[in-house]
Amino acid sequence: MTTSPELIDRVRAAAEGTPYVVQERPYGFDLTIDIVDAKWWTLLRKNAVKRVFTHEVRLDEGRRRMVITDVANEVRWDAGVGPSARPSLHAEKSVQKGRVLEFSREKQWGADPASGEIGAVVDYTFRAGEGRALIREAAQPLGWSEGMGREQRIGLAAALFALGLVVVIAVIAGVILLVS
C-alpha cells in the first residue's frame, strides 16, 4: 500500500521540468502554476495582471482516495488617463473554485516598465486539465482513486435541481395546454 508521501514524491517528480510547483499541505498537497505575472505600459495607462492556478489535492491515505479541487485566481488592474482625459483606476479580482474547465490564451503588447522595450509583455496558453492529468497519471499506478470535492457535489446537486425544476415546469405547462 502506498502512502501519501510516496504519491507526493511521484507528483513532484512528474512536475520536474514543468512550470508546476508542488507544496505539501496538512490536507495533502497543492500543485500550482503561476500562469502570468506581468506589468506593462500602454500609451496612456499602466497595466498589470497576475494569474495563479492551483490544484488543491486532499488525500485520504487509509482509503487511497484523493479529491482534486481547482482554484483559479486572477488580479488585473490598470491606471492612467481614461477616454474622457480624466485620471482613472480600474481593478478586478476573480476566484473560481471547484472543477474549472478552462483553455485560455492571451497576448498583450506594451512597454516593459523596467527596460522600456516594446513587445509582447503577456503571452501564454493555459489548459486547466494539464495539472489534473499530471496528478492522475502519478496516482493511478499507485492505486489511488479520485472522488468529488464539496464544490463539485454542490454544483452537481444544483444542476440536477435545475434540471428537475425545468422538467416539472414543462410537465405543468403540458398539463395546462391539454386541459385548456
Which tens digit of pLDDT belongs to each residue from 73-128?
A: 999 988 987 677 778 888 999 999 988 989 999 898 888 888 888 888 888 899 99
User: CA dist 117 to 40, 49, 108, 120, 154, Å?
Assistant: 10, 18, 13, 10, 48
Residue 1 has a pLDDT of: 62
Long-range contacts of 15-24 (CB under 8 A, 24+ apart): 15/134, 18/134, 20/131, 20/134
Integer Cα distance of 4 and 138 in angstroms: 12
Distance CA 33, CA 15 (A): 10
State pTM to two decimals. Answer: 0.77
| Per-residue pLDDT at 133 exceeds 80 | yes
Q: What pLDDT is stored for residue 103 in this prediction?
A: 92
pLDDT at 45: 82
- 4-56 pLDDT, tens digit each: 999 999 999 999 999 999 999 999 999 999 988 888 888 788 888 899 999 99
Cβ burial 25-62 (10 Å sphere, 16+ → b, else e): eeebbbbbbebbebbbbeeebebbbbbebbbbbbbebe
Residue 54 backbone phi and psi in degrees, to 5 = -125, 135
At 141-170, the pLDDT tens digits run 999 999 887 777 777 788 888 988 898 898
Cell of 175: 398539463
- Helices of type H across the chain: 4-15, 129-139, 150-179
